[in-house]
Amino acid sequence: MAITATTASGAADVTESVDLGPATALSCRECGTRFPLGPSFACLECFGPLEIAYDFGSAGAEELRKRIEAGPASIWRYAPLLPVPADVASKPNLNPGWTPLVKADNLGRELGFTAQLHVKDDSGNPTHSFKDRVVACAIEAARAFGFTTLSCSSTGNLAGAVGAAAARAGFKSCVFIPHDLEQGKVVMAGVYGGELVGIEGNYDDVNRFCSELIGDPAGEGWGFVNVNLRPYYGEGSKTLAYEICEQLGWRLPEQIVIPIASGSQLTKIDKGLQELIKLGLVEDRPYKIFGAQAEGCSPVSAAFKAGRDVIRPVKPDTIAKSLAIGNPADGPYVLDIARRTGGAVEDVTDAEVVEAIKLLARTEGIFAETAGGVTVGVLKKLVETGQLDPSKETVAINTGDGLKTLDAVADAGLTATIRPTLESFRSAGLASA
């Protein structure tokens, strides 16, 4: 629907009518106060986080289901449930989503599953991570609010997604990352021709800098996808929930294991599941959500295990750099969801992350980055400790491609070097029995 957007600091100096589909307002997650749609992320009443409120219309579940199924093989099949215009699929965008839900039978057998185990493999997105989903939604808000430059604070994958989406859509881009990221992610973020800036410090330092830049004239006209556009950006993660349920034949999985960085992905997947229930697109039944962290950056896991509601920030020290956010913004909400659904938040060591990357690759032919190693490692640990039931249908989410974090498995490689002769081949013990 068309509404009037009220601009905030850092927005283009215009007030114009915008079309963000079924989105009607920004609503505070804490106090419920509503604000006009615009480039804002914090409540002016209580400083709580803002999220999108919708009017999904009066279409019945069957009509809506048919409309979705007739849509494109991308997240835009769910345009009626997202803060995007109805004609979004015709705009220059990377069109991410509709990634495989893999029946992980080999991995399931190895871990002792008697029910179906699935891996939602989001490494097949345009820049090989789930971040393409969130950027796709954010860029539509950036268009609506008249921004000219796309930016972000990033642990790597988001920087690449913003650079690529900006290039496709004709935006300028300037993204900020910790100076010591994996080289594969640095190259992928830099190849799209935008500005790529390394900040001396960790992700939390980068994020603080970006928040300061928003309020400075130097950042005028800039849309920071995970700061002043964060409410729109976060909605892209809901599409993981939508796809999983549709790919399961329009039903909820019983258990989901999700990696935690800021915690936004986990909270939005839960929001997506709840929306599907309320719209009548899936049958309401219990499900459990589990969060996965690396031991070297596990503030949410530590709080969960200690029974605390407060997340104590930590200084990250892990190979899983895409999850290395020491002060996760959505951490408290992750705790609420894990407890409400009967799930848990667990962590694994870097050594377990590496072994899990290899396990997934060996059993299912999926090469995950370190975040995926965290998810599979935690999945394994949850089964071993009895926190997750292997007799219930489970989905584990792989958020990115292992080609971005090659250093983690650098010991993998040649198993033999031989001369180009059959004799050498046999001598190496490679011939079949």
pLDDT tens-place values along the chain, 433 residues long: 444 433 343 444 334 578 999 999 999 999 999 999 999 999 999 999 999 999 998 889 999 999 999 999 999 999 999 999 999 999 999 999 999 999 999 999 999 999 999 999 999 999 999 999 999 999 999 999 999 999 999 988 999 999 999 999 999 999 999 998 888 889 989 999 999 999 999 988 998 999 899 888 888 899 999 999 999 999 999 999 999 999 999 999 999 999 999 999 999 999 999 999 999 999 999 999 999 999 999 999 999 999 999 999 999 999 999 999 999 999 999 999 999 999 999 999 999 999 999 999 999 999 999 999 999 999 999 999 999 999 999 999 999 999 999 999 999 989 999 999 999 999 999 887 4
**Taken in order 70, 75, 78, 83, is the CA torsion positive or negative?**
negative
Q: Is 319 helix (H, G, I), strand (E, B) or coil?
A: coil
Angstrom distance (rounded) from CA 35 to CA 4:
11
> What pLDDT sits at residue 215?
80
Q: Residue 123 and residue 337: Cα distance in Å, rounded?
A: 25
Provide the pLDDT for residue 216: 87
Supply the pLDDT for residue 17: 72
Q: What is the pLDDT of residue 12?
A: 41
Question: Looking at this protein, which amino acid is placed at residue 62?
Answer: E
Three-state DSSP at 380 gives helix
Phi, psi of 76, rounded to the nearest 5 degrees: -75, -10
Read off the tokens for 325: 């956010």
Dihedral angle computed from the Cα positions of residues 246, 247, 251 and 255, in that order, rounded to the nearest 10 degrees: -120
- What per-residue confidence (pLDDT) applies to 16? 53
HSE, CB side, 13 Å, CA atoms: give it for residue 47: 1
CB-count exposure of residue 433 (10 Å: 0-12, 13-18, 19+)? exposed
Q: Provide the strand spans (E) within 112-161.
A: 117-121, 149-153
Q: What is the pLDDT of residue 4?
A: 41
Which residue is it, tokens 């034949």?
A: 249
Helix (H, G, I), strand (E, B) or coil at 255: strand
What's the Cα-to-Cα distance from 316 to each of 259, 308, 369, rounded to whole Å? 15, 20, 17
| Separation of alpha carbons 132 and 200, rounded Å | 26
The CA-atom distances, in angstroms, between 38 and each of 11, 20, 298 are 9, 11, 33
Number of neighbouring beta carbons within 10 Å of residue 269 = 24
**How much is the pTM?**
0.93
CB atoms under 10 Å from CB of 45, counted, come to 12
Beta carbons within 8 Å of 362's beta carbon, 6+ residues apart? none
CB 158 within 8 A of CB 225: yes
In a 3-state reduction of DSSP, which class is residue 404? Answer: helix
Is residue 237 a contact partner of residue 83, using CB atoms and an 8 Å limit?
no
Task: Return the closest-CA partner of residue 210 out of 222, 194, 193, 192.
Answer: 222
Least Cα distance to 132 among 80, 102, 97, 173 occurs for: 97
